[in-house]
Amino acid sequence: MPTVKITSPISESDFRLQEAYKSLRSNLQFCGPDFKVIAFTSCMPNEGKSSVSLQVAISLAELGKKVLLVDADLRKSVLMRKLKVTSKGVRGLSHYLSGQYPLDEVLNATNIENLSIIFAGPVPPNPAELLGSTLFQNLVTAFRSVYDYVIIDTPPLGSVIDSAVVAQNCDGAVMVIGANTISYRFAQEIRDQLEKSNCKILGVVLNKVNVKSRRYYGKYYGKYYGGYGDYYGTAEGR
């Protein structure tokens, strides 16, 4: 199995971001053991799904959980670029789902203990079809018995249907919403669409928040350091 080197995109001095991810990780854990296959989606492109899913996967692996990160954005994958992995010789999900390569050739170990990755692979002509195939369904079923968490990065649901197709095989979905990017109504529409796939929406990550603006600053501290101080301490012990 090939090994990929990953460095966390969060700098060690960015305590605020580190705390936010620890909190997100804890919230996922509190969903219980029935929620292990989790899709990350959004309404629009660029809201931060890939960044959040990568960091959540790292964060869970650092806690000792066996984690698989799957890049199911078969149309516009950025994960390899983000991790500075050269595409030469790297096989991905589209290779597997189109029957070109076996699983052990598309599955990558990483330098982070407990974290494995499947990249998207080359853009296929029929992404939604591949993700809706029985092969993908069976793959997710097989992963369920091997990993504690399977984190699946998907394209924005406001642009293409792929994430709703993926969500059909997931236990839950997390919506990533970029601060000040979309209307409440649009978010509701996307939520409704996601719910039609019978996938439970676990919550929303409000990303790209300008914490220097007074509006968010107060809320942030109120939430993470004020109201939930005790809960937070307990969660970290898990």
Ligand X SMILES: Nc1ncnc2c1ncn2[C@@H]1O[C@H](COP(=O)(O)OP(=O)(O)OP(=O)(O)O)[C@@H](O)[C@H]1O
**Site residues (CB under 6 A) for ligand X?**
42, 45-51, 73, 76, 78, 156, 207-208
Contacts of 230 (CB under 8 A, 6+ apart): none
Select 133 or 207, whichever has its Cβ closest to Mg ion: 207
Alpha carbon 66 to its chain centroid, in Å, reads 15
> Min. distance of Cβ 73 from Mg ion in angstroms?
5
Chosen from Mg ion, ligand X, none, partner binding at 46 (C-beta under 5 to 8 Å by type)? ligand X
Least Cβ distance, residue 57 to Mg ion (angstroms): 13
Nearer to ligand X, 128 or 198 (CB): 128
Nearest distance from C-beta of residue 30 to ligand X, angstroms:
22
Burial 124-133 (b: 16+ CB within 10 A, else e): beebbebbbb
Pick from 26, 50, 110, 169: which binds Mg ion (CB under 5 A)? Answer: 50
Nearest Cα neighbor of 182 from 202, 156, 201 is: 156
In this complex, which beta carbon is closest to ligand X, that of residue 46 or of residue 180?
Answer: 46
Number of residues that bind Mg ion (CB under 5 A): 2
* Residue with smallest beta-carbon separation from Mg ion: 50
End-to-end CA, the chain: 31
Which range binds Mg ion by CB under 5 A, 50-58, 60-68, 80-88, 194-202? 50-58
**Residue 50 or residue 197: which is nearer to Mg ion going by CB?**
50
Smallest gap from Cβ 153 to Mg ion, in A, equals 6
